[in-house]
A and B are shown apart, each in its own frame.
Chain A
Amino acid sequence: MISYVFWGSLALSGIKEGMLVWILFLLCQVGAPALAQDLCQRDAPNGYKVRISLKTALGEDAYEWNQSEMFFFQATMAFAMRRHFQMETYNVDNIILCVQTSRVSFWFVVTSPDNTTMLIPKADVEKAVRMSRHRINNAFLLSDRTLEFLGIYPTLAAPVNPDTPPWLIVFGVVIGAVCVGIIALLISSLLQKRRKEKGMTEDGQDEEDMQVKGVENGINLDGTYNRGFTDDDRFTKL
């Protein structure tokens, strides 16, 4: 593009004017990054700070953060912007990064594809990031906690509410077993008692009959046995 202009301007005007235009153009090209730098700076009003904690997330498998990764980030952000707006075609050049530190952290701003001097407002960038947060995290093998967009809080996962709380199920099992146990024991006690009573009445009947008929010392006495004096032995002992 530069050579085209150069030759074009040389052809259009004289060599002197061409040189002037060429110098001006060169200045513009040099100034363009400077302009971009003005757009992206620390605490930029429409920019976000990104903080990446590779060692925390991946430990020994952590990859090195270099220029390629930065390019990948630009591509991912462009993708996120495209996905959100769906009409405009964002490119890698629209994502401007600056203030890189060894932490790793950096700032970024997003310029509009139509006008590279115009920044996309913070709110729109946030919407785009929120929409594709999951994809962005996965691209870098990171999570919400290790790839932070300072100012964009991760949405909390909706709590999983099972129909029956799990504790009720365990409670039901335990109390069912206990109730069965109680009923079983009570019934067995009742049966035992009935059996004892039946057995006793068969033996006891004989004993009672014998006593009532006055069988003492094996001798059949006439008359009935008066129980009123049963315990008298104690008082009449010598």
Chain B
Amino acid sequence: LVKILPNLGLGDRIPSHQELERMEKEEAGDRPKWDNKTQYMLTCVGFCVGLGNVWRFPYLCQSHGGGAFMIPFLILLVLEGIPLLHLEFAIGQRLRSGSVGVWTAINPYLTGVGIASLLVSFLVGMYYNTIIAWVMWYFFNSFQNPLPWSQCPVNANLTDLVSECTRSSPVDYFWYRDTLNTSTSIGDSGGLQWWMVLCLLCAWLLLYVCCLRGIATTGKAVYVTSTLPYVVLTIFLIRGLTLKGSLDGIKFLFTPDLNELMNPSTWLDAGAQVFYSFSLAFGGLISFSSYNSVHNNCEQDAVIISIINGFTSVYSATVIYSIIGFRATERFDDCLEGNILALLNAFNLAEGSIKEGNYAESLQNLNGTFPETIQSLDLKTCDLQTFLSQGVEGTGLAFIVFTEAITKMPVSPLWSILFFIMLFCLGLSTMFGSIEGTVVPLQDLNIFPKRWPKEAITGIVCLVSFVIALIFAQSSGNYWLALFDSFAGSIPLLVIAFCEMIAVVYIYGIDRFNKDIEFMIGHKPNLFWQVTWRFVSPLIVLVIFVFYFVTKVSSNVTYIAWNPSSEDFPTLEVLEYPAWIYVIIFILAGVPSLVVPGTAIFKLIRRCCSNKNVYGAEVDTVSAKVQMFTTKMS
């Protein structure tokens, strides 16, 4: 049916079915193995379920028509997420190698795909662990009552509260000033913030202790890091439902607006969310699945993990919005109380004469009789819907909106500790996959001498990442992180995923792949998989990529900055990036993407220049003890 591109020597580069059976029986090789299936499943769930499920999905859901967003999300989950997941699992399990090993085995010119995965895992891991450092900072600060972000600090003369805080809010002040000590622009570095450096150090050391021996240690850690978030979410759900206004939040989240389905950006955002939420194209999933036994049912695993991921997104959205509903109701009540107090004070009316019920009526009466006084009072408009739709995403949700909601709950330190432990576990389990996606390709590429133990390589990776991640500990660190998030973790992943699918379907050969799966799990993949692997999923990824690329290139690249001396303070200021940032953007997004064709060209040139035509690379990787090559005299 589909003409596969010529791919000579494939049979020599990969272990045959008989060899796989033999390796399975003899348990040959020093390739790591999962202690049990639960560890594998928990690790994959942990890798997929991350901070994005908690702070990106609820925002998308609410801003794209609530309950109606479920429709594109679920459709794309089935058409894009599950097939890609199954593909990565199957290819890893079949070829028993990390990302570089797998793609090199399929075709030596495809090594670039593996290297691109390595670079993306490395870059994303750097900034992701910084977010974990922030989470740890908040966690450390949660062991006091009252919480430091619940009230404004007093200024130096003890005459008044700090003005930057009174103009914005205590949570904003604690985030932008006490935590980040943010500068006013990305160019103004402001020096390293020592407390942030300490938290960053702690985060990297903690990650190192968990990843020290590869899956031998992470496999134990995931029993806690993958299950604890669900426990905490449930506790928060129960707590949230007992608070006033939580049901308003949940209703607001899920109220469907079917008109949003006509909007293409809804579908694009749903597709992007499914894609990024599955942590595809990092290489970590391929690596994890390669430690499985050959006959593990990867199809079932892919479906189960996809369902768990989708369920977690919806569940955490419910919890988050129950708390946001509570916060919005509190804000509304405070706003109304403030207005009522202003009216009582201005007109010397008895307390309790104006309540929430008769507020509108009383205001109208008073406005009729004393319009000038009412004007001078400058009353705020209190609208619950406005407060609910102050939908924030990302770090703003966790560190500003949610922390504010927590300060309004009784026994705040307890909820704060629980919340930040949950975020920490979510982030750490994703980092395991990131480290796996960085360390294993490095071993495969023989960058380090083979006799160096895994502990040393992991240590070097953590050390180098920590040193480079010190950029994020500067005053302008927040802006750098946003830059990394927009560019390192978006375009290259789409490119890699697209190449992965083309590689497996058209270069490796879908027929061979089908036979492999039949060998591994006992039955051939059905029509659904065939259609999605060949056409549907690559098409969806291509469409998302094109739209993302066009949007990013055509729009003015701007960022938002915290500037106390700006006019609209506390609204964040929109600034344009300086010219030299474009070099950084190119390094972040361009280099990983260009490495894919670049490596191919490099290998082509090397082959043409050398006398011997070495076809079929010597794949002497630690992760795949397959050493075969033929030399053809040209």
Contact = CB atoms under 8 A, between A and B. Distances in A.
Given A171-B199, A185-B212, A158 B158 contact: yes
B144 A166 contact: yes
Contacts of A53: 351
Nearest to B160: A156
B205 A179 contact: yes
Contact of A56 (B202, B205, B351, B453): B351
Contact of B206 (A51, A157, A168, A178): A178
B562 to A, nearest CB: 22
A156 B161 contact: yes
B209 A178 contact: yes
A132 to B, nearest CB: 20
Contacts of A123: none
Interface in B191-215: 195, 198-199, 201-202, 205-206, 208-209, 212-213
B205 A167 contact: no
A171 B344 contact: no
Contacts of A167: 137, 140-141, 143-144, 195
A103 B349 contact: yes
B154 A156 contact: yes
Instruction: Give the contact-size bracket for chain B.
Output: 20 to 34
B52 interface: no
Nearest to B140: A167
A155 B195 CA distance: 31
Interface in A40-57: 51, 53-56
A54 B351 contact: yes
Given A167-B137, A182-B212, A102 B158 contact: no
Interface in B219-238: none
Contacts of B217: 185
Contacts, number: 79
Contacts of A175: 201-202, 205
A167 B195 CA distance: 10
Nearest to A102: B350
B159 interface: yes
A20 interface: no
Interface string B324-362: 000000000000000000001100111110000000000
B523 to A, nearest CB: 35
Nearest to B199: A171
Interface in B136-191: 136-137, 139-141, 143-144, 153-154, 158-161
A51 B345 contact: yes
A186 interface: yes
A124 to B, nearest CB: 21
B345 A186 contact: no
Nearest to A183: B209
A162 to B, nearest CB: 9
A182 to B, nearest CB: 5
A103 B154 contact: no
Given A178-B209, A185-B213, A171 B140 contact: yes
A117 interface: no
A105 B348 contact: yes
Nearest to A192: B213
Contacts of B161: 156
| Most chain B C-beta atoms within 10 Å of own C-beta, residue among A54, A103, A104, A179 | A103
Contacts of A181: 209
B154 A159 contact: yes
A174 B205 CA distance: 10
B202 A178 contact: yes
Interface string A171-196: 10011001101100110010001000
Interface of B: 136-137, 139-141, 143-144, 153-154, 158-161, 195, 198-199, 201-202, 205-206, 208-209, 212-213, 217, 344-345, 348-352, 453, 455
Interface of A: 51, 53-56, 101-105, 155-159, 166-171, 174-175, 178-179, 181-182, 185-186, 189, 193
The 3 closest A-B pairs by CB, nearest first: A101-B348, A167-B140, A102-B350
9 contacts: A102-B350, A103-B345, A156-B158, A166-B140, A166-B144, A167-B141, A167-B195, A171-B202, A182-B212
Given A179-B205, A181-B209, A185-B213, 4 more contacts: A155-B158, A166-B141, A170-B143, A171-B199
